[in-house]
Amino acid sequence: MEKETIFTKIDEGIIPSVKLYEDSKCFVIMDINPIVKGHSLVISKKPYCNLTQAPEKLVEHMILVARKLDLRMREVLDCDGTNIMINNDPASGQEVPHLHIHVIPRYENDGRKFSFAHDSYAEGEMADLGRRLEIR
Ligand code: AMP
Protein backbone atom coordinates (compact mmCIF):
# COMPACT_ATOMS: atom_id res chain seq x y z
CA MET A 1 0.00 0.00 0.00
CA GLU A 2 1.27 3.48 -0.87
CA LYS A 3 2.11 5.78 2.04
CA GLU A 4 0.35 9.12 2.60
CA THR A 5 2.46 12.21 1.92
CA ILE A 6 2.19 15.96 2.22
CA PHE A 7 0.55 15.91 -1.22
CA THR A 8 -2.15 13.53 0.06
CA LYS A 9 -2.93 16.06 2.80
CA ILE A 10 -3.03 18.85 0.19
CA ASP A 11 -5.42 16.81 -1.96
CA GLU A 12 -7.67 16.25 1.06
CA GLY A 13 -7.63 19.98 1.86
CA ILE A 14 -5.92 19.44 5.23
CA ILE A 15 -3.01 21.56 3.97
CA PRO A 16 -4.04 24.58 1.86
CA SER A 17 -2.93 24.98 -1.74
CA VAL A 18 -3.74 26.84 -4.91
CA LYS A 19 -5.32 24.10 -7.00
CA LEU A 20 -5.45 24.58 -10.77
CA TYR A 21 -7.07 21.32 -11.85
CA GLU A 22 -8.48 18.09 -10.51
CA ASP A 23 -9.91 14.86 -11.88
CA SER A 24 -10.24 11.30 -10.57
CA LYS A 25 -6.59 10.42 -11.31
CA CYS A 26 -4.54 13.53 -10.62
CA PHE A 27 -4.56 17.16 -9.53
CA VAL A 28 -2.47 20.25 -10.18
CA ILE A 29 -1.25 22.77 -7.59
CA MET A 30 1.11 25.71 -7.68
CA ASP A 31 4.53 24.97 -6.17
CA ILE A 32 4.99 26.91 -2.93
CA ASN A 33 8.68 27.47 -3.68
CA PRO A 34 8.72 28.24 -7.41
CA ILE A 35 11.83 28.13 -9.58
CA VAL A 36 9.94 30.63 -11.74
CA LYS A 37 6.57 32.16 -10.74
CA GLY A 38 3.76 29.91 -11.98
CA HIS A 39 5.81 26.69 -11.40
CA SER A 40 3.20 24.01 -10.78
CA LEU A 41 2.97 20.30 -10.03
CA VAL A 42 0.83 17.60 -11.65
CA ILE A 43 0.35 15.08 -8.82
CA SER A 44 -1.14 11.58 -8.86
CA LYS A 45 -4.11 11.08 -6.53
CA LYS A 46 -2.62 7.78 -5.31
CA PRO A 47 0.78 8.33 -3.69
CA TYR A 48 2.89 6.12 -5.97
CA CYS A 49 6.45 6.81 -4.88
CA ASN A 50 8.00 6.90 -8.36
CA LEU A 51 7.34 6.66 -12.09
CA THR A 52 7.61 2.89 -12.42
CA GLN A 53 5.29 2.17 -9.49
CA ALA A 54 2.48 4.04 -11.24
CA PRO A 55 0.30 2.33 -13.87
CA GLU A 56 1.18 3.22 -17.49
CA LYS A 57 -2.29 4.67 -18.16
CA LEU A 58 -1.90 7.07 -15.25
CA VAL A 59 1.51 8.22 -16.49
CA GLU A 60 0.02 8.81 -19.95
CA HIS A 61 -2.82 10.80 -18.42
CA MET A 62 -0.54 12.91 -16.25
CA ILE A 63 1.75 13.85 -19.14
CA LEU A 64 -1.32 14.99 -21.11
CA VAL A 65 -2.40 17.14 -18.15
CA ALA A 66 1.16 18.56 -18.01
CA ARG A 67 0.83 19.37 -21.73
CA LYS A 68 -2.44 21.25 -21.10
CA LEU A 69 -0.76 23.15 -18.29
CA ASP A 70 2.12 24.04 -20.62
CA LEU A 71 -0.40 25.46 -23.13
CA ARG A 72 -2.18 27.40 -20.38
CA MET A 73 1.10 28.87 -19.10
CA ARG A 74 2.03 30.01 -22.60
CA GLU A 75 -1.42 31.67 -22.98
CA VAL A 76 -1.62 33.33 -19.56
CA LEU A 77 2.03 34.03 -18.73
CA ASP A 78 3.27 34.49 -22.28
CA CYS A 79 6.27 32.33 -21.39
CA ASP A 80 8.64 31.22 -24.14
CA GLY A 81 9.02 27.60 -23.01
CA THR A 82 8.69 25.25 -20.06
CA ASN A 83 10.75 22.68 -18.22
CA ILE A 84 8.67 19.55 -17.66
CA MET A 85 10.45 17.16 -15.35
CA ILE A 86 10.17 14.39 -12.79
CA ASN A 87 12.58 13.86 -9.94
CA ASN A 88 12.43 10.08 -9.76
CA ASP A 89 13.52 8.70 -6.36
CA PRO A 90 15.62 10.37 -3.66
CA ALA A 91 18.94 9.92 -5.51
CA SER A 92 17.61 12.29 -8.19
CA GLY A 93 16.68 14.95 -5.65
CA GLN A 94 13.05 13.90 -5.13
CA GLU A 95 11.95 15.31 -1.78
CA VAL A 96 8.31 14.25 -1.71
CA PRO A 97 7.99 10.49 -2.37
CA HIS A 98 4.75 10.86 -4.31
CA LEU A 99 4.73 10.94 -8.13
CA HIS A 100 4.55 14.47 -9.53
CA ILE A 101 5.52 16.28 -12.69
CA HIS A 102 7.05 19.74 -12.40
CA VAL A 103 5.92 22.23 -15.06
CA ILE A 104 8.06 25.36 -14.91
CA PRO A 105 7.42 28.39 -17.14
CA ARG A 106 10.56 29.72 -18.81
CA TYR A 107 11.43 33.00 -20.49
CA GLU A 108 14.25 33.88 -22.82
CA ASN A 109 17.13 35.14 -20.66
CA ASP A 110 15.36 34.41 -17.34
CA GLY A 111 18.75 33.50 -15.90
CA ARG A 112 17.68 30.11 -14.51
CA LYS A 113 19.74 27.09 -15.42
CA PHE A 114 20.27 23.55 -14.29
CA SER A 115 23.79 23.42 -12.94
CA PHE A 116 24.63 19.79 -13.61
CA ALA A 117 28.31 19.09 -14.24
CA HIS A 118 28.79 16.91 -17.35
CA ASP A 119 30.69 13.63 -17.53
CA SER A 120 32.57 12.26 -20.57
CA TYR A 121 33.09 8.79 -22.11
CA ALA A 122 36.32 6.93 -22.78
CA GLU A 123 36.86 5.50 -26.31
CA GLY A 124 34.12 2.92 -27.01
CA GLU A 125 32.45 3.32 -23.64
CA MET A 126 29.31 5.07 -24.93
CA ALA A 127 28.66 2.36 -27.54
CA ASP A 128 29.17 -0.42 -24.94
CA LEU A 129 26.87 1.25 -22.48
CA GLY A 130 24.36 1.98 -25.25
CA ARG A 131 24.14 -1.75 -26.05
CA ARG A 132 23.31 -2.49 -22.41
CA LEU A 133 20.73 0.29 -22.27
CA GLU A 134 18.81 -0.66 -25.42
CA ILE A 135 15.13 -0.85 -24.54
CA ARG A 136 13.58 -4.27 -25.06
P1 AMP B 1 10.55 17.13 -5.52
O2 AMP B 1 11.89 17.60 -5.03
O3 AMP B 1 10.56 16.76 -6.99
O4 AMP B 1 9.99 16.03 -4.65
O5 AMP B 1 9.58 18.39 -5.46
C6 AMP B 1 8.73 18.64 -4.39
C7 AMP B 1 8.16 20.01 -4.63
O8 AMP B 1 7.05 20.17 -3.77
C9 AMP B 1 9.13 21.16 -4.33
O10 AMP B 1 9.31 21.96 -5.50
C11 AMP B 1 8.43 21.93 -3.23
O12 AMP B 1 8.60 23.33 -3.33
C13 AMP B 1 6.99 21.52 -3.41
N14 AMP B 1 6.17 21.62 -2.19
C15 AMP B 1 6.47 21.12 -0.97
N16 AMP B 1 5.49 21.42 -0.09
C17 AMP B 1 4.55 22.11 -0.78
C18 AMP B 1 3.30 22.70 -0.44
N19 AMP B 1 2.80 22.64 0.82
N20 AMP B 1 2.60 23.33 -1.41
C21 AMP B 1 3.08 23.41 -2.66
N22 AMP B 1 4.25 22.87 -3.05
C23 AMP B 1 4.98 22.23 -2.13
Taking the C-alpha atoms of residue 51 and residue 44, their distance in angstroms, rounded to an integer, is: 10
pLDDT of residue 1: 57
Q: Determine the distance separating the centroid of ligand 1 and the alpha carbon of 90, expressed in angstroms.
A: 13
pLDDT of residue 121: 98
Residues 6+ apart with CB under 8 A from 115: none
61 has catalytic annotation:
no
Exactly one of 39, 61, 100, 102 is catalytic; name it. Answer: 100
Residues 6+ apart with CB under 8 A from 78: none
Please state the rounded mean pLDDT for residues 21-41.
Answer: 98
**Each residue's pLDDT tens digit, 101-110:** 999 999 999 9
Q: Return the best residue to mutate from 15, 36, 39, 41 for the ligand 1 pocket (most ligand atoms within 8 A of CB).
A: 41
Q: What is the mean pLDDT of the chain?
A: 96
Angstrom CA distances, 124 to 67, 73, 87, 132, 133, stand at 38, 43, 30, 13, 14
Taking the C-alpha atoms of residue 68 and residue 53, their distance in angstroms, rounded to an integer, is: 24
93 lines ligand 1 (CB under 6 A): yes
Per-residue pLDDT at 67 exceeds 80: yes
Please state the rounded mean pLDDT for residues 5-27.
Answer: 97
15 lines ligand 1 (CB under 6 A): yes
Atom of ligand 1 nearest to the CA of 17: 20
pTM: 0.96
Please state the rounded mean pLDDT for residues 131-135.
Answer: 97
Per-residue pLDDT at 128 exceeds 60: yes
Per-residue pLDDT at 35 exceeds 80: yes
18 lines ligand 1 (CB under 6 A): no
